[in-house]
């Protein structure tokens, strides 16, 4: 439930979803429809899981020689214990304006292995930050930094 609420909060904070979601008298119905639209099974015969509408496939570069996007840094971890969001948000310091967390789910030796990646950005999150590439990820979430 908290993951769904978090995704909805991100959608409601993004300018690109304002026209679709923030229609007076229809916010709840529009959000419900979008949750249904962006929920699907991550693994074969699995339960539907919410997706924030950002396709995380292609967040890695095809070649390490490609120049990095200005204001972007990535960190990865395959053995995150506990709160994954906190692990990533803790990396959002200084000029960081938003983060994008995504998960790689691999089936190896008869079991699933999870790996997590956290990318930090110097600006507020926008789908324009998604870069083309070759990485296939199955889930992702974007968070904007909230300054006091």
Same domain, 5 and 72: no
Same domain, 31 and 66: no
Same domain, 68 and 127: yes
Same domain, 23 and 66: no
Stretch 24-50: mean pLDDT, rounded? Answer: 84
Q: Provide CB contacts within 8 A for 119, sequence distance 6+.
A: 59, 72, 73, 74, 75, 99, 100, 102
| Whole-angstrom distance, CA of residue 59 vs CA of residue 41 | 21
Q: Which of 38, 53, 68 is the last residue of a domain?
A: 53
Query: What average pLDDT does the chain have?
Result: 73
Same domain, 70 and 40: no
Same domain, 44 and 58: no
Q: Give the per-residue pLDDT at 59.
A: 45
pLDDT digits (tens, 9 = 90+) for 55-112: 554 444 333 333 345 555 555 555 666 787 888 888 888 888 888 887 777 777 887 7
Same domain, 148 and 86: yes
pLDDT digits (tens, 9 = 90+) for 115-139: 778 888 888 877 777 665 545 555 5
Based on the structure, what is the number of domains in the chain? 2
- Which residues form the domain of 11? 1-53
């Amino acid at each position: 439930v908290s993951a769904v609420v978090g995704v909805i909060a991100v959608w409601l904070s993004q300018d690109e979803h304002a026209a679709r979601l923030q229609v007076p008298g229809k916010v709840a119905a529009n959000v419900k429809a979008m949750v249904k639209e962006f929920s699907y099974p991550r693994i074969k015969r699995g339960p539907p899981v919410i997706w924030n509408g950002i396709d995380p496939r292609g967040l890695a570069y095809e070649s390490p020689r490609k120049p990095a996007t200005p204001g972007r840094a990535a960190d990865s971890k395959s053995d995150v214990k506990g709160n994954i969001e906190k692990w990533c948000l803790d990396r959002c310091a200084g000029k960081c304006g938003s983060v994008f967390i995504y998960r790689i789910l691999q089936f190896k030796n008869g079991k699933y292995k999870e790996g997590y990646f956290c990318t930090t950005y110097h600006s507020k999150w926008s789908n324009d930050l998604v870069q083309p590439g070759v990485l296939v990820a199955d889930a992702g979430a974007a968070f904007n930094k909230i300054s006091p």
